[in-house]
Amino acid sequence: MNEIENVYGETVEFYDLSALSQIGNKKIVLNKFADMVKDLDGIILDIGAGTGKTTIEMANMICDKEIIALEPSAYMRTAFMARLMEHNEVKERISLLPIDVGKYSFRDKISGVMCMGVLGHLKRDEQEKLLYKLDKNLNINVPILIELLEPKFLVAPVGSRISVATQGRLRYETYITDIKQVGMDQWTWRLTYKVFCGKNIVSTVDSLMSWNYQSVEKILNQLTKMHFRTAKLSETLLLAIKAR
Ligand SMILES: C[S@@+](CC[C@H](N)C(=O)[O-])C[C@H]1O[C@@H](n2cnc3c(N)ncnc32)[C@H](O)[C@@H]1O
């Protein structure tokens, strides 16, 4: 098991059902991003593609682009591949690489980068290295779409239920069962997934994760100091465009 599989291992079963950020709310932004990349040369890079929902959505929005998706968790890749096999219309254009973004060579010509829900998993120096590599390797006009964690989750009281969904007879609930600030921008939290059938608990799975939280403003600031024009799209979404 690699390190990220301690977070995205057994819990991947619940990932799509209990995702804190649902794709429906992002469709307009994804469409705008698709418009920006469609006339640029090169692949779309999806960093930390998870179960592939956003990747496949993007592939359907731009019908002639190749997407390279990076995903280090074998559990996430299994869910991604199962989904991809149901999408004949896009599967030939999507390559799912089993790697950490730190290992990506940046040799491909890139027309756009999606980095959705990933930065918080990277340590401070890894985040900085990634932004530096993007600055160095992207051509002018190439956009980066970044999604960050909603800050409200970091101040939610222990015991808060942060998602509930039903599937067939079962009800899936996610709780924050511990949360600690362990450094200036560093947090650890334990999420507990509980599956109920009526009043009975069918299973409980814990997941402990570290999160390096930077606000949208901080990331915008870092990118602006490089060679990007930037825009805050919401409390969790930001866009950066390589300007020079
Ligand atoms: C919150 S999920 C987001 C998944 C997907 N982008 C989405 O929006 O649904 C974060 C993903 O980033 C992946 N990840 C974590 N660290 C990574 C790294 N260093 N390089 C690439 N992916 C990473 C995780 O395995 C996980 O699938």
pLDDT band at 70 (very low <50, low <70, confident <90, very high): very high
Confidence bin at 155 (pLDDT 50/70/90): confident
pLDDT of 20 higher than 80? no
Mean pLDDT, the chain, whole residue set? 95
Is the torsion defined by CA of 40, 41, 45, 46 positive or negative?
positive
| CATH code that applies to domain 3-148+214-242 | 3.40.50.150
- Report the candidate in 127, 109, 108, 128 with the shortest Cα–Cα distance to residue 119: 127
Q: What is the pLDDT of residues 80-136, one digit of tens each?
A: 999 999 999 999 999 999 999 999 999 999 999 999 999 999 999 999 999 999 999
Q: What does each C-alpha distance from 198 to 13, 96, 160, 201 come to in angstroms?
A: 20, 38, 20, 8
> Does position 151 have pLDDT exceeding 90, yes or no?
no
**How many residues are there in the chain?**
244
- Tell me, in angstroms, the distance from the centre of ligand 1 to residue 90's CA: 21
Closest atom of ligand 1 relative to the 8 alpha carbon: 25
Q: How far is the CA of 200 from the centre of ligand 1 (A)?
A: 32
Return the best residue to mutate from 3, 4, 16 for the ligand 1 pocket (most ligand atoms within 8 A of CB).
4
Atom of ligand 1 nearest to the CA of 147: 8
Amino acid, single-letter form, for residue 37: V
Residue 2 Cα to ligand 1 midpoint, Å, equals 13
Question: Per-domain residue ranges for the chain?
Answer: 3-148+214-242, 151-212
Q: How far is the CA of 116 from the centre of ligand 1 (A)?
A: 7
149 Cβ inside 6 Å of ligand 1 = no
Lowest mean pLDDT among 27-31, 125-129, 154-158, 221-225: 154-158
Report helix, strand or coil for 93. Answer: helix
Q: What is the pLDDT of residue 68?
A: 98
- Ligand 1: residue of 47, 114, 121, 162 to mutate (most ligand atoms within 8 A of CB) is 121
